[in-house]
Structure 1
């Protein structure tokens, strides 16, 4: 039987270094299969979608394990160490399994992976970190923690912001969350008003424009902390409110004219108007390059005709960031797209019709959904809707650049979605811990059963690791890097939210399936996270896997 490693943290770090080398070798081999003339081939990439998907998930697990272990310091608590090593052990095995199948497909030698898998030091670490006794010890620690796992090292200002928004979420958001979900209400002014006063809509807007972001750099960590805190109270009624101004603000900063920045950024920071993002179309989903909503040039502006779907908060919003085809030549793909800012009145309820004096019409209908209620996602129909030239992002120079401006906003949007997932996970974990202490079955509290503690340990390990990964990627984003890593953390955190909320609901038994139980809301809300801000499959194939293979080949990135 393997012996306990003398220094499990050092063992984990050493193993992850070797696993990273094996991963890079597999990534290079797949990149070579998918390339022609030293560049990736779209046709070959499409033929290797299954392998590419596995590569992306291996990258997500590996990066998360590395981030979790790297976060450990001399003063880290025993629980922090237990959870980081638990995730590293289970993720390491998952990565080995994915790479094993990938190497079989590629005809690569399997001995390097076998030597990693069968290494006595690794086997000892797996037993010490993820065996039954380790799960029991970690589960006891998580059960006593009330969900305070994966704490980030924060300076005073960030810690104060986190505390303030957590208190607001607990005192103001959470008491209203069930009614908003159960009765499918629109986010009320009783939430919007104080959030405006707290400056939540200006987190990505530089201070010179009335926001709270530094003028000379980004503060992605603050956005992550605030989003996570609000999402713990309610994903739809609070945690997702920041995403749309985040995307539009970044797009304006990336491509807006000085006049557009001066006009729109202070208003977005103040939350007046609220905004929505209209990208997805009924026939194209995540295929942004194929979008067909037409913008026809007329005197003084453009006329929009066509449809959009899944436009969240479109009714309440006063401005829509619309990606439209300003060049009728469909062969141009994404190079024929531009961003237009459509102004409209704010409407309550689940449907609206806006008729312009110029004769154009915009109508919307909320799409009934199983969760994520409060903001509502709309089907939109544009009929000759007029947009003035002044509302083309970037002006004349911005025509044809809409795809790039949109992608500039999506990095922050994906980071924020990862933070939303962490907030939902934290709410679910805390609910599960409290219920397992209170619920008596077969004569004892649910938490006294080893399987319950094993579940809590794994839930805690996922949340702790996702929080650490989000923090480390936020630092990359602040340096102007991390586009692919932002997609990786979204990929992992959103899938993890499904797993954690599922286990939280399971621990509640029949009560978890009842609508009156908060965990039922966490479960259905979490399911949407892997779909929006870049569907899981699109991110894995078009962004993550492609970027990984481009890095392996040493070519300039071209992904979305």
Structure 2
């Protein structure tokens, strides 16, 4: 056994010990929150701080285990000792950092986790301390940073299939040659995404990535291709998050919802059109006072002759102006005690508008209007507040037909199933762009007579950036492969939680390396920082994701 293999196995053993403590704490919280019908939500809310920390512990530990698997697979696939060293060193550094973070969280307030000082000894053994200290030592980080700088923005092998690599190459060229030259103008002038970007994406089948071939898309008829979607999203987000990286999110949500609950007639009508990007689509789910609480939706759908009448407000409806069809979740049963069972999903057709405001008047007298919400970043698609004033929707546009009434919540969940893993891919693309700029600037900028990349602190920063970027990417790829096998829903929530917070830190460090120029609007890193901030908010806010999805599922499972 080589020394590196021995250290990797040691890291996995330490992670197993940390996981055991996390499970013990989850079991203790479950016991504290026992109610007459299982875990009580009200009691669980009394343990939010601990639940939030445990969700993070589980996410980092899962990421570390995937990182160890990635490094081991890469080492087995190459005869290059130098290459294997880079991937394995990054995995070991991340494992050490994850273990240190888990130890810090649990030891800071052990009573909140139902742990005693004696329980924590597995995280304070001399062996574990030596492992973490050796991996996180300044000279180890500096050496890795020096190696990373020499790679000019590359960080670890991707290890993709031939098909995924081909897609990556094609969309990377598009992002570099078409999207990047327009990205700053879109951001600074708050422009809607131009046709120069939309047209080539349509030609390349971008909008049909999640649509089966039988409906005019490019996805296989017999299995999903989350990996293809991840790779494309990553490369487009590297070009611009708001200008390209989020364009395939809405077609994916709509197509998944229709594939889950739409009638065959609805699929035959809408999916081929969506695959061609005509019409573009938007998703209207969030409301001003409900946020991530989908079951509390209030937009009203009232039955009328030949269809339904929609009245109310939706917010954060991205691309609503440019879109020709909105996928709308509305309350079709006024009995609020039904919660999510009183919701239905509708396809609302409208004209396309390029401006920051729009007003669409129906022949039936209804008015659908919207105004773009000014945001600090994520510009290009525009997110709207949308007002429904007696808007008519024909019966044929009730998703699922009569059988779909009251099932809108389930169709929404199916639609958003890939949203979290896709958001992780968006985070990786933004991180990659920021990392490339940081490495380049570190070699160009002179301070005190030499490039700032020659200083130990800069090298250590870049080493951590490369490590977290590589782990985020391989964590996302691993979950994508699980989802292609019909698994990985919990891991998708974890990787979304982890990568989005990581993107905030990494883009902040890229800006810091640029110094004053990083704060200048003319520097792309300022845009990356602003764009990254939204990632922990949409597709499940960080707190809701950690508490209501990850922690709750982990507690139910113990």
Give the TM-score of the pair, scaled to structure 1. 0.96
Say yes or no: does 1:33 pair with 2:32: yes
In 1, the alpha carbon distance for the partners of 2:161 and 2:478 equals 15
For 2:111, the equivalent position in structure 1 comes to 104
For 1:155, the equivalent position in structure 2 comes to 161
In 2, the alpha carbon distance for the partners of 1:464 and 1:107 equals 34
Deviations 1:22-54 (A, max 9, x none): 222222212222222471111112221111111
Where 2:377 maps in the other structure, the secondary structure is coil
Query: Aligned to 1:511, which of 517, 539, 551?
Result: 517
Deviations 1:243-295 (A, max 9, x none): 11111111111111111111111111111111101111111111111110000
Higher alpha-carbon deviation: 10-19 or 130-139: 10-19
In 1, the alpha carbon distance for the partners of 2:246 and 2:463 equals 28
Deviations 1:140-186 (A, max 9, x none): 12212222224332121111101111111011100000000011100
Query: Aligned to 2:359, which of 353, 370, 391?
Result: 353
Query: Aligned to 2:556, which of 538, 541, 550?
Result: 550
Give 1:116 shift. 2.6
In 2, the alpha carbon distance for the partners of 1:6 and 1:256 equals 50
Where 1:273 maps in the other structure, the secondary structure is coil
- For the 8 Å contact 1:152–1:471, the answer to whether it is kept is no
Where 1:71 maps in the other structure, the secondary structure is helix
Where 2:60 maps in the other structure, the secondary structure is helix
Give 1:199 shift. 0.4
In 2, the alpha carbon distance for the partners of 1:117 and 1:212 equals 52
Deviations 1:408-427 (A, max 9, x none): 12120111100000000000
Evaluate the alpha carbon distance shift between residue 5 and residue 372 of structure 1 in structure 2; reply closer, same or farther with a 3 A threshold.
Answer: closer
In 1, the alpha carbon distance for the partners of 2:341 and 2:109 equals 35
For 1:431, the equivalent position in structure 2 comes to 437
- For the 8 Å contact 2:233–2:248, the answer to whether it is kept is yes
Where 1:48 maps in the other structure, the secondary structure is helix
For 1:89, the equivalent position in structure 2 comes to 96
Say yes or no: does 1:113 pair with 2:128: no
In 2, the alpha carbon distance for the partners of 1:513 and 1:20 equals 40
What residue ranges of structure 2 are gaps of 5+ in the alignment? none
Give the TM-score of the pair, scaled to structure 2. 0.96
In 2, the alpha carbon distance for the partners of 1:147 and 1:201 equals 29
Give 1:210 shift. 1.2
- For the 8 Å contact 1:68–1:469, the answer to whether it is kept is yes
Deviations 1:39-77 (A, max 9, x none): 111111222111111111111111111111111132362
Higher alpha-carbon deviation: 184-193 or 145-154: 145-154
In 1, the alpha carbon distance for the partners of 2:487 and 2:509 equals 34
- For the 8 Å contact 1:150–1:467, the answer to whether it is kept is no
For 1:196, the equivalent position in structure 2 comes to 202
For 2:385, the equivalent position in structure 1 comes to 379
For 1:241, the equivalent position in structure 2 comes to 247
Say yes or no: does 1:67 pair with 2:73: no
In 2, the alpha carbon distance for the partners of 1:43 and 1:231 equals 39
Equivalences, count: 548
In 1, the alpha carbon distance for the partners of 2:152 and 2:417 equals 32
- For the 8 Å contact 1:26–1:103, the answer to whether it is kept is no
Deviations 1:188-214 (A, max 9, x none): 011000000000111111111111111
- For the 8 Å contact 1:26–1:102, the answer to whether it is kept is no
- For the 8 Å contact 1:250–1:409, the answer to whether it is kept is yes
In 1, the alpha carbon distance for the partners of 2:132 and 2:413 equals 40
For 2:152, the equivalent position in structure 1 comes to 146
In 1, the alpha carbon distance for the partners of 2:410 and 2:54 equals 26
- For the 8 Å contact 2:25–2:114, the answer to whether it is kept is no
Evaluate the alpha carbon distance shift between residue 234 and residue 542 of structure 1 in structure 2; reply closer, same or farther with a 3 A threshold.
Answer: same
Evaluate the alpha carbon distance shift between residue 69 and residue 247 of structure 1 in structure 2; reply closer, same or farther with a 3 A threshold.
Answer: same
In 1, the alpha carbon distance for the partners of 2:108 and 2:392 equals 54
Query: Aligned to 2:428, which of 417, 422, 425?
Result: 422
- For the 8 Å contact 1:181–1:374, the answer to whether it is kept is yes
Say yes or no: does 1:525 pair with 2:524: no
Give 1:139 shift. 0.8
Say yes or no: does 1:541 pair with 2:547: yes
Where 1:347 maps in the other structure, the secondary structure is coil
Taking only aligned residues, the RMSD between alpha carbons, in angstroms, comes to 1.3
What residue ranges of structure 1 are gaps of 5+ in the alignment? 553-560
